[in-house]
Amino acid sequence: MALAERVNKIKESPTLAVTAKAKAMRAQGIDVIGFGAGEPDFDTPDNIKQAAELAIKNGFTKYTPVGGIDQLKDAIIDRIKGDSGVSFERPEVMVSCGAKHALYNISQALFQEGDKVIIPAPCWVTYPDQVELSGSETVVISTTEETDFKPTAAQWKEAMASGAKAVILNSPCNPTGSVFTREELKELADLAVEHDVYIISDEIYGKIIYDDAEHVSVASFGEEAKKRTFLVDGVSKSYSMTGWRIGYVAGPQEVISAMNKLQSQSTSNPTSIAQMASIEALTGPQDSVKDMVSHFKERRDFMCERLNAMPGISCLKPRGAFYTFPNVSGLFGKSWDRWSINSSGDFSAFLLEHARVAVVAGDAFLAEGYVRLSYATSMENIRKGLDRLEEAVSKLS
């Protein structure tokens, strides 16, 4: 069958594919430790579940306005004002079926053939494909560990001057865990204003930060910066609500209206019950977020220490999100039995097939030489998985 060309240009999400593969192996009785998943292992907090139960009980089970109910929009507006000090009005806010869907709506409403979109790499797997689907072109800025995986001022300037329409920023970053500082963000905001470039600021990991890292929204640097920023967030990561599918965006009203039109002809409103649960997540007690972050921090420290002790592997300490992104290029050129390791893809295949450990190869994030390990899994799994990884690495010579 001849499929539409647009669908042939993209790939299935590699992170979801690794998770599905590990799940399928487990279903066959193979004991796989999964470091692939991008979702917290904790349950959704009870107060949030109860809000959903109440919504069902009260019959709040029908269509809602396409871009979300006012009560949820107000909760989002208050949350952004409280966290970042930026004021938005209801018509500037829209709720979608996850942050991924909010990002998709932005790219479909804003980009077309002939447009250029800047993406610093390593980047989340979905950005390049969503840009591709819009028909526009990606301008990738490759970064290295030396700059904590952040573009240098010269790289930003060159990319901004390329005639790009927008930049996709992700701080804290998936997969690197890098967090941009206030000064770095201010510099970027100034450049965006100077070159009249939109900033799509994916802040989904904004609550998951460690040590002295500070989460700052790029929308907070004055009216001109706000006018060009789409602040994207959601409840999936901070409240362990990946399955509820609620994400949102606050940004320029004209584009938000266009996105509402798109959503009205595709998904319609996000689930009414999940919207009610999200109001409770955003406005109810926040202790569960703190608890989760303290567990993540303990796991991060443990994982980094173990990885850095393995020959051929080195790992920066991430300051946000829940992933480590070790450099495994020191293993390239080594082999054992039928395995030769010459790429991060080779290494992750070796780990899955030989050690029964699932990680995501760096090329999925446009960063060959690295693999991503999620520490959103129990300490017991982390210990077991790293023991297996260490043993497998020790065989390579």
Task: Name the residues that contact ligand PLP, by CB under 6 A.
Answer: 38, 98-100, 124, 170, 174, 202, 204, 234, 236, 242, 247
Cβ count near 137 (within 10 Å): 16
Residue 234 vs 369, nearer CB to ligand PLP: 234
Shortest gap between Cβ of 394 and ligand PLP (angstroms)? 32
Q: What are phi and psi of 278, to 5 degrees?
A: -70, -30
Residue 125 vs 396, nearer CB to ligand PLP: 125
Residue 15 vs 329, nearer CB to ligand PLP: 15
Number of H helices, E strands in the chain: 14, 14
Residue 188 vs 331, nearer CB to ligand PLP: 188
Shortest gap between Cβ of 11 and ligand PLP (angstroms)? 16
Shortest gap between Cβ of 219 and ligand PLP (angstroms)? 16
Shortest gap between Cβ of 256 and ligand PLP (angstroms)? 17
Residue 234 vs 318, nearer CB to ligand PLP: 234
Shortest gap between Cβ of 16 and ligand PLP (angstroms)? 9
Residue 100 vs 306, nearer CB to ligand PLP: 100
Fill in the DSSP letter of residue 363: G
Strand 357-358 to strand 166-170: parallel, antiparallel, or no bridges (unpaired)?
unpaired
Residue 125 vs 355, nearer CB to ligand PLP: 125
Whole-angstrom Cα Rg for the chain:
21
Shortest gap between Cβ of 99 and ligand PLP (angstroms)? 3
Shortest gap between Cβ of 8 and ligand PLP (angstroms)? 24
d(Cα 352, Cα 32) in Å, to the nearest integer? 8
* CA-based nearest residue to 275, from 56, 45, 38: 56
Q: What is the DSSP string of 180-191?
A: --HHHHHHHHHH
Residue with tokens 């395995």: 339
d(Cα 133, Cα 104) in Å, to the nearest integer? 9
Q: Is the distance from CB of 233 to CB of 248 less than 8 angstroms? A: yes
Strand ranges (DSSP E) for the chain? 33-34, 93-96, 116-121, 137-142, 166-170, 198-202, 229-234, 247-250, 323-324, 334-336, 339-341, 357-358, 360-361, 371-374
Bridge partners of residue 57, in order along the sequence: none
On the 0-12 / 13-18 / 19+ scale of CB atoms within 10 A, 97 is buried
Shortest gap between Cβ of 193 and ligand PLP (angstroms)? 24
Residue 269 vs 329, nearer CB to ligand PLP: 269
Asked if the peptide bond before residue 40 counts as cis, ω within 30 degrees of 0, the response is: no
Shortest gap between Cβ of 332 and ligand PLP (angstroms)? 27
Closest-by-Cβ residue to ligand PLP is: 98
Residue 355 vs 376, nearer CB to ligand PLP: 376
